[in-house]
Amino acid sequence: MSSRRVVVTGASSGIGAATVRLFRQRGWEVVGVARRQERLDELAAETGADVFAADLTRQEDVDALRDHLAATGPVHALVNNAGGAKGLDSVEASSVDDWVWMYEINVIGTKRVISALLPLLRDGARETGHADILNLTSIAGLTAYVGGGGYNAAKFAEHALTEVLRLELNGEPIRVVEVAPGMVATEEFSLVRFDGDQARRDAVYEDVPEPLTAEDVAETIVHALELPRHVDLDLIVVKPVAQAAPHRFAKGELRVTD
């Protein structure tokens, strides 16, 4: 695997950072992309990954990322992990600004990166015989739930983008994979959603037995891209056993019923 290079967005924390670590452990060359240079520098020192600071809602930053990648080697895989949620209010009461932010990072940011890097991925496919695009969406993009409004809308759109891209690339040796996680207990996702309110963040996971970790999702991502190149896992939904749906999860110890 040492000859393959993967770009991972949203790499400064959570699932993105865990994915960078695991790819490096498996021998991949990795370029981690995120806004926060200091976090990226720490990750680079820890893992030996290459890093590039970019705000994916800015076209000039995405163009600079493309130019950096083109100048430093081939690209064989792209993991679009950057995204996020804001708020848990109703459609009526929620903030339009929050909706715009969620659409920009989850949908338009993903589109920007794909458009910029697809020519490089095609070059990588010519070199090794195939390339990969993996979009990290959410079960929020498959099932609506009360309070999900803007996040549901953004993730449904990203899910649709992924399905259309797979149709458009049919006939090329480029896999398009979607990983849709359920509840993942990372430090920052719910903090961002609740504007830094630690108590509300902690309440999300309170008494839920074994929510997913960032490392669990990273294992799923890396597994999908290390399968034989003719195997395409179109859609992988991964949830903790305690979660049946976005709005339904068990609390307390899981027990076998009589």
Query: What's the one-letter identity of residue 80?
Result: N
DSSP letters spanning 49-102: -EEEE--TTSHHHHHHHHHHHHHH----EEEE----------TTTS-HHHHHHH
Across the beta sheet with 29-34, the strand order is 50-53, 29-34, 5-9, 77-80, 131-136, 174-181, 235-238
Q: Is 152 exposed, middle or buried (0-12, 13-18, 19+ CB in 10 A)?
A: buried
Backbone angles phi and psi of 99, in degrees to 5: -60, -45
d(CA 216, CA 161): 25
> Of the residues 103, 145, 151, 205, which is catalytic?
151
Decide if 205 is catalytic.
Answer: no
* Enzyme catalytic residues: 151
